[in-house]
Structure 1
Amino acid sequence: MAAPRNLVVETGRLMKDEETAEDSPTSKKPIGAKLDGRYPLTGWEFTVALSVFLVFTTGLFCIYLTMPATEYGKLKLPRSISDLRMLKDDLGTYASIYPTKFILGYCSTYIFMQTFMIPGTIFMSLLAGALFGVKGIFLVVFNATAGASSCFFLSKLIGRPIVLWLWPEKLKLFQAEIAKRGDKLLNYMLFLRITPTLPNLFINLASPIVDIPFHVFFLATVVGLIPASYITVRAGLALGDLNSVKDLYDLKTLTVLFLIGSISILPTILKRKRIYE
């Protein structure tokens, strides 16, 4: 009877080790793991997040200190179209006199907001169109890509518990879709970036968790954000005719975006058709 007894002892030891591993803050939990309603970040992860935030904030503050004096009371992040119109009037002259310093401040603010998931980048994109015209599209695509890439690496570091806390089911579905794509992953990511199928915030945070390679993420972001950025910048040119952000994406605009997005996944559809034939 020694063998069964030893087996029981070993089994109990393994179960204890597994419980200890699950309680460890450094252990990786599977995609479907639940957090039981607890705050998603451990103390170590919160410290890392706070440290990164402070580094970015300090850099942003130093950039603002190097800029020429202005009426700082008029500077604020726009939260509505009316805020945006007032900000355009206040910054128009400043941007024409100090274009380089203004662009530096604009880019650092946009990337900061995108990195830390601060709402309002849509208004920053509209502002680029209002101040720089169609050329603002290059500014928007650059900032959106840089901010998304920064958010990607931040999520790679501490994002898993946050995404599991906010979107557990959506994350599992996303992982299943990514697993199906294989060598056509870039086409699928382009489709997601071009169309409003998934929020960009979710894509930025979830991509490193489901092991999307950064070069695929980067290329899909650079190319896929161009159509939506063009629409937003063009709307910024006619800021006086815009009543709400919702006016940006009417049925016609959404149809065009989905048509463009469908072109990106056309190779995958044709390949599947040939396989079934």
Structure 2
Amino acid sequence: MGSILWIPVVLSLATAYLYFLSMSAPSLKEQDSNVLKFPSSLEDLTKVAKLLNKYKSENFLFVFILFCSAYLYKQTFAIPGSVFMNLLGGAIFGRFYGFILACFLSATGATCCFMLSKFFAKHYVLKYFPEKVNLIRKKIEENNDGLMPYNFICVETGTTLSSLTSLDDLLSAKTLLSMGTAAIVALVPGYLIKRRQQKRELSKMS
């Protein structure tokens, strides 16, 4: 079993990589580099999405690699704020590709997080935080079929937000209807799956 001290080492290396990647953006103006950060609010999200949408026309590969790296960084080290990355994915890459990326990167990042904790922290976590582990396991079981609908709603919302020019647009009937429809489309399959699982469990018990 690896030492838990490897986790800060891996975190430092990943942070350095992400920093140098963002600083090595080709032909990025100095004032724009200050905007390039993890979004933590809708205002930040709008600024980053606007910058990357303008930038990706000539540097698509760099934007793609930067987004994937940032998303995996957040997921691997369990840093809060993945909802903003899903929104950003929809705003940059659109509904279809943003959704595929969100699902793939969230699954890959979660796998990396699991492997990191398994090889370097499992013993310590189970020893000192058994109640937290049981709570997380319970949450995972409860949300076994909920990740894709959640990702879809976030990406769809990001796609909608990227086309807004004012707060009035956000409150318009067209926008609200679009976001409401997306929520229904995303949530119905998960609801039906859970209902089917509940019926199976009841049939096994009877």
The Cα of 1:102 is off from its aligned counterpart by: 0.8
Asked whether 1:234 is paired with 2:156, we answer yes
Report Cα offsets for 1:212-256 as digits up to 9, x if no partner: xxxxxxxxxxxxx2211111111112213559xxx9x99x94996
Instruction: From the superposition, tell whether residues 160 and 78 of structure 1 become closer, same or farther in structure 2 (CA, over 3 Å).
Output: farther
Q: Scaled by the length of structure 1, what TM-score is found?
A: 0.56
Q: How far apart are the structure 2 equivalents of 1:156 and 1:194?
A: 23
Q: How far apart are the structure 2 equivalents of 1:162 and 1:155?
A: 8
Asked whether 1:171 is paired with 2:100, we answer no
Residue of structure 2 aligned with 1:161, choices 124, 127, 133: 124
Match of 1:113 in 2: 74
**Letter paired with 2:193:** S
Q: Scaled by the length of structure 2, what TM-score is found?
A: 0.73
**Letter paired with 1:169:** E
Residue of structure 2 aligned with 1:129, choices 67, 74, 90: 90
**Letter paired with 2:14:** F
Match of 1:75 in 2: 36
Cα RMSD for the two superposed structures: 3.4
Instruction: From the superposition, tell whether residues 148 and 173 of structure 1 become closer, same or farther in structure 2 (CA, over 3 Å).
Output: closer
Asked whether 1:50 is paired with 2:22, we answer no
Residue of structure 2 aligned with 1:272, choices 197, 201, 206: 201
Contact 2:86 2:151 in 1 (8 A): yes
**Letter paired with 2:190:** G
Specify every segment of 5 or more residues in structure 2 that has no aligned partner in the other structure, as ranges: none
Instruction: From the superposition, tell whether residues 169 and 67 of structure 1 become closer, same or farther in structure 2 (CA, over 3 Å).
Output: same
Instruction: From the superposition, tell whether residues 97 and 163 of structure 1 become closer, same or farther in structure 2 (CA, over 3 Å).
Output: farther
**Letter paired with 1:88:** A
**Letter paired with 1:146:** T
Match of 1:261 in 2: 190
Match of 2:102 in 1: 140
The Cα of 1:126 is off from its aligned counterpart by: 0.8
Report Cα offsets for 1:40-63 as digits up to 9, x if no partner: xxxx41x11112213323433454
Structure with bigger gyration radius = 1
- Number of equivalent positions: 187
Q: How far apart are the structure 1 equivalents of 2:95 and 2:50?
A: 18
**Letter paired with 1:57:** T
Report Cα offsets for 1:78-103 as digits up to 9, x if no partner: 11101111222222211121111110
Contact 2:149 2:186 in 1 (8 A): no
Overall identity of the aligned pairs, in %: 29
Q: How far apart are the structure 1 equivalents of 2:39 and 2:196?
A: 41
Match of 1:192 in 2: 143
Contact 1:81 1:242 in 2 (8 A): no
SS of the equivalent of 2:71 reads: helix
SS of the equivalent of 2:40 reads: coil
